Amino acid sequence: MNAWSHVACVYSFETQTLQAYLNGILNGSRSLFSFQGSSGDTTIGVTYAIPPGSNYFDGYLALMQFVSSAKTPSDILRDATLMAYYSFDTSLTTDNSLNGINTTTIGSPSLVPGRVNQAIQVNPSASVYTSYTSFLLLGVSNQPHTYSLWIKPTGSYALPTILFVIAQTGWCASIIMTTASGHIVLHSYSGALISVSDPIIPLNTWTHVGATYCPSSGFRLYINGTFYATSGAFSYVAAGTSLYLFIGGDGGYAFLSAPGCSAGFTGSVDELFMYSRELTASEILVAANP
């Protein structure tokens, strides 16, 4: 109750199988089920049983979709857990996931050749952000999550913030940044700042960064598909409300989260995926080898 859930129903004419999924996981199925369909009205939020119109859904519905094909289990898992996907192939601001969490530009970022098709070029005065609180699950304590992206620093490191989240309450975190010497750093919060740091990210070279979290594994850092470091287990203490996202900068707020932050990122970002689950090591490896 009082929590969002993703529900999917899949019917395959080929196998005559009906499947029900809850939050991306198969919850039940029925085989040898011959679908007997007919044309008619589609109702949302009520079942026309006896008496007519008496069975109303009491709650919220969002992002309802009908697809005239049987989606695979991996399709359903992606639909249920992909919070946002910014490819930057044809647009600086478009979210290519089903959620449509489009961003707004700050200054004049540009599209440039990327690791996969196009990428976004940012600098301390040019980045993108969500102009409304968009990431509810990142505001839930102990919620597993993953960030997967390509970065290419082209200027001095200068303590730049690459990914930053903030709530209207002021809770914030510089999720991914680099140090003045070029070491990549992940940040989270457990009541105190949690940091994971390891390799130096080379200038003018595309590097894949994977950051995964679950309470038992903690924050895990992957570079180019290879596991590098972990925070160890910890409880993520979230804002308790939905978050804004900044890509390539911090809107001037990063000093609240990570002392020493001084600038936005100078370079390119490509293929940013954000999931509400912890991706496996093999899934990160696939993302690092497009």
Chain segment 92-137, per-residue pLDDT in tens: 999 999 999 999 999 999 999 999 999 999 999 999 999 999 999 9
**pLDDT surpassing 60 at residue 259:** no
Q: Tell me the chain's radius of gyration from C-alpha atoms.
A: 21
- What residues make up the domain containing 61? 7-71
187 in the same domain as 94: yes
Chain segment 15-44, per-residue pLDDT in tens: 889 999 999 999 999 887 777 777 777 788
174 in the same domain as 260: yes
Query: Given the structure tokens 């140090």, which residue do they identify?
Result: 179
**pLDDT surpassing 60 at residue 283:** yes
The pLDDT of residue 53:
59
272 in the same domain as 132: yes
The pTM score is 0.92
The pLDDT of residue 156:
76
**pLDDT surpassing 60 at residue 260:** no
Structural domain count, the chain: 2
- Whether residue 188 contacts residue 198, with contact meaning beta carbons closer than 8 Å, is answered with no
pLDDT, averaged across the chain: 91
How many angstroms separate the Cα of 188 from the Cα of each of 11, 55, 244, 275?
Answer: 41, 44, 15, 16
Chain segment 191-204, per-residue pLDDT in tens: 998 999 989 999 99
266 in the same domain as 196: yes
**pLDDT surpassing 90 at residue 140:** yes
Tell me whether residue 1 is in a domain. no
Question: Which is more confident, 33 or 50?
Answer: 33
**pLDDT surpassing 70 at residue 255:** no
262 in the same domain as 148: yes
